[in-house]
């Protein structure tokens, strides 16, 4: 967020080769979210993101949880299929999403995997426990969450369901996701 620090980071000679994701015919760098909450997160303003950080997403997500809408999803991944109602589906490349730095503690930017979460239709009590799990980095172990890793994923629904790609509005379903392992080099700032 500080231009001077960003410019200094460009002078770093540290390079790291990282994964990049493909959604249909476009690339993404971090996360694809599917569902009514995902659609609502697209409306988070740049101003709120700057001022509130991850709390901006939490604030908008909590608005949606007052009247959550689960959607029927069909998710194919690496030869397996999951089918059911889901409040939110996430496919993530890194351990950090929306400022939550510990979503998947064992995920690496170069592990060649999509880390996927199917959030089932949650009650208010389960939403509270899922939020705590999110903060502790144990969301994948929550009883109302289905977690898996995959190289290829497709998501469809008989309903019109919106997506959010790296914090911006994405296409409606169906979508196809894949990983391009160690596809791009990024500059890593020097450590003091």
Torsion of CA 118, 122, 124, 125, to 10 degrees: -80
Residue 167 has pLDDT above 90, yes or no: no
In 118-163, alpha helices (H): 124-136
- Nearest CA to 86 out of 74, 72, 102 is that of 72
pLDDT value of position 128: 45
- Which residues have a catalytic role annotated? 168
Least-confidence region, from 73-82, 106-115, 123-132, 158-167: 123-132
pLDDT given at position 48: 54
Structure confidence at residue 7 (pLDDT): 87
pLDDT(17) > 80: yes
Residue 132 — pLDDT band, cuts 50, 70, 90?
very low
pLDDT (tens digit, 9 = 90+) per residue, 121-130? 665 445 545 5
Q: Which domains does the chain have, with CATH numbers?
A: 27-188 (2.60.200.40)
Among 66-80, 99-113, 172-186, the minimum mean pLDDT is found in 99-113
- pLDDT at residue 71 is higher than 90: yes
What's the average model confidence in pLDDT over 54-67?
51
Cross-strand partners of 168: 165
Rg of the chain's alpha carbons, rounded to an integer? Answer: 17
Question: 181 in helix, strand or coil?
Answer: strand
Average pLDDT over residues 148-174: 94
For the segment 86-129, what is each residue's pLDDT rounded down to a tens digit?
Answer: 988 999 998 876 655 666 778 899 999 999 999 886 654 455 45
pLDDT at 74 over 90: yes
- Among residues 158, 151, 152, which one has the least CA distance to residue 174? 158
């Amino acid at each position: 967020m500080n231009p001077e620090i960003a410019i200094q980071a460009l002078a770093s000679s540290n390079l790291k080769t990282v994964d990049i994701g493909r959604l249909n015919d476009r690339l993404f760098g971090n996360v694809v979210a599917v569902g009514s909450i995902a659609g609502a997160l697209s409306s988070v303003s740049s101003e709120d993101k700057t001022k509130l950080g991850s709390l901006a997403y939490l604030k908008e997500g909590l608005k949606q949880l007052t009247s959550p809408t689960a959607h029927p999803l069909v998710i194919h991944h690496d030869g397996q299929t999951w089918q059911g109602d889901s409040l939110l589906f996430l496919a993530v490349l890194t351990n950090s999403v929306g400022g939550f730095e510990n979503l998947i503690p064992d995920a690496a930017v170069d592990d060649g995997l999509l880390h996927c979460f199917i959030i089932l239709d949650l009650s208010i009590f389960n939403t509270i426990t899922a939020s705590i799990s999110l903060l502790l980095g144990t969301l994948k172990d929550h009883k109302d969450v289905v977690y898996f890793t995959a190289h290829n994923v497709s998501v469809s629904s008989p309903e019109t369901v919106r997506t959010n790609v790296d914090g911006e509005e994405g296409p409606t379903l169906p979508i196809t996701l894949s990983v391009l392992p160690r596809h791009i080099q990024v500059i890593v700032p020097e450590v003091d």
